[in-house]
Amino acid sequence: MAAEARRKVPHVLTVAGSDSGAGAGIQADIKACAAAGVYCSSVVTALTAQNTVGVQGIHPVPEDFVAEQLRSVLSDMEVDVVKAGMLHSGSVVEVLCSSLKEFPVRALVVDPVMVSTSGDMLSAPSTLAVYCNKLLPLADIVTPNLKEASALLGGCSLKTVADMRSAAKLIHNLGPRNVLVKGGDLADSSDAVDVFYDGEECHELHGSRVITRNTHGTGCTLASYIAAELAKGSPMMQAVQTAKSFVESALCYSKDLIIGNGLQGPFDHLMKLKNHVSSFAQKPLFNPDCLLLYAVTDSGMNKKWGHSITDAVKAAIEGGATIIQLRDKEAETRDFVEAARSCIAICRPCGVPLLVNDRVDVALASDADGVHVGQSDMPAHLARSLLGPGKIIGVSCKTPAQAEQAWADGANYIGCGGVFPTNTKANNLTVGLDGLRAVCMTSKLPVVAIGGIGPGNCRSVMEISVPNLKGVAVVSALFDRECIATEARRLRSILLDVPLTAQ
């Protein structure tokens, strides 16, 4: 086969123990990577006899043979990311560290597995020092649960999110580049809260807590899914968010499964996929440049001018709109889904994403490209867990704090405004160009400006010269006009005319 025809597959190597019940360990890692669409090789460090009741036995693999497996895989198979799980002894940890020095990889994810959720010890107490001194300094991220975080810090008690925040910072001092303290076991918490610290800022990642007994292996799965996303090229925070959303989704899908008689059942990583193959296996696809000329439809205006929704969308695209949002506050659900489907049939062949305003259910039912939600709509993290990582989520924000939250919730972009007063949205507070600039300056996400923008002022908006301001969103300037295509063309030519340095 010609060299250029060969496809490099993202590759995660898991170095972990086998769980005979297949809920955790190597088996969870391989299933999680498969769900993420990534190749997974496996170096087995120990066999465990384990089920939903607990761990009945451990049969360690001799260090020399762990080393031999590592050499076999790393010397041959172009591994992108290594994920370390159960490492039962200090010598196994040392073997891994020296293999990584001999065969460096792009990233190392360390799940410091020490105690199983059933309370059984999975690693000798003497391993702790080697972990801290040798492995953690090599890690791009370490993902302790509450008990493990406490063990890494010499046994302090961790009971609150504030404790998790301090623990994340202290563990960061041990050398890993990022720390995720997992709160799956946090008592009295209705959310599943994890704390992420990148050495500069601490973020609370909130997910919904799924009520189920089937949580065995969530930690292994989370770490492997992070490794898989890193192997595909995602930045760290995005990898963590996608992984968390996958775990929640898989738990939700298999919350009523009955496997085994013990207290903690496994979940099915791939069941969700049987319904949603494309949603999780696909790499997140969002090009911020599509925010340049963002057209938001308005059913009232279409009625006034006698435009059908499909004609309006066709005309906007013909004039150069780069993304469409269907906004209809009154439509019956059935009609809204139907309209979304017809518009997708127009948008998709043109490569123009179609988003649905507010209605995650309509976006799901019509297989739209995503949703745009406001501050009082469904929280973006919930929309993300329902839609999966492959869909686009935008959030309306007026302040830097809202923009920060949208980012932590896994949104793709921010709509900031109203920049100027508008009739489309009654009683909407305006933020002005200064408010827009303040949000853009602090937002880690790309921003589209909205509110009272048209051909007369879109230039002044783009000229605030902040790199992540990617475009303008318009309603009346397009749809409250007789010829939508002409108006879109006019706007587009102005936007394209703004010097690139100012964009």
DSSP assignment string, 109-160: EE----B-TTS-B-S-TTHHHHIIIIIGGG-SEE---HHHHHHHTTS----S
182 binds, among Mg ion, ligand HMH, ligand ATP, none (CB under 5 to 8 A by kind): ligand ATP
Nearer to ligand HMH, 257 or 365 (CB): 257
Residue 25 is a binding residue for ligand HMH (CB under 6 A): yes
**At residue 199, what is the residue type?**
G
Continuous H helices in 292-399: 299-305, 309-318, 333-350, 360-366, 380-387
Of 12, 66, 87, 113, which one interacts with ligand HMH (CB under 6 A)? 113
Nearer to ligand ATP, 189 or 486 (CB): 189
For 500, which DSSP code?
G
Residue 29 is a binding residue for ligand HMH (CB under 6 A): no
What's CA 503's distance to the chain center, in Å? 26
Residue 192 is a binding residue for ligand ATP (CB under 6 A): yes
**At residue 21, what is the residue type?**
G
Residue 85 is a binding residue for ligand HMH (CB under 6 A): yes
CB atoms within 10 A of CB 325: 23
Residue tagged active-site, from 183, 219, 370, 394: 219
- Asked if 417 and 449 touch (Cβ cutoff 8 Å), the reply is yes
- 182 among known catalytic residues: yes
- 127 among known catalytic residues: no
- 219 among known catalytic residues: yes
Tokens representing 455 are 């051909």
- 350 among known catalytic residues: no
Classified as helix, coil or strand, 378 is: coil
DSSP assignment string, 59-77: EEPPHHHHHHHHHHHHTTS
Nearer to ligand ATP, 220 or 477 (CB): 220
Residue 21 is a binding residue for Mg ion (CB under 5 A): no
Residue 86 is a binding residue for ligand HMH (CB under 6 A): yes
CB atoms within 10 A of CB 361: 15
Nearer to Mg ion, 16 or 411 (CB): 16
- 452 among known catalytic residues: no
Which of the stretches 39-47, 85-93, 138-146, 191-199 binds Mg ion when contact is defined by CB under 5 A? 138-146
- Asked if 24 and 54 touch (Cβ cutoff 8 Å), the reply is no
Which of positions 42-81 make contact with ligand HMH (CB under 6 A)? 48, 50
Nearer to ligand ATP, 85 or 451 (CB): 85
Which of positions 204-243 make contact with ligand ATP (CB under 6 A)? 207, 209-210, 215-220, 222
Classified as helix, coil or strand, 39 is: strand
**Among all residues, which ones are annotated catalytic?**
182, 215, 217-220
* Chain positions contacting Mg ion, by CB under 5 A: 145, 219
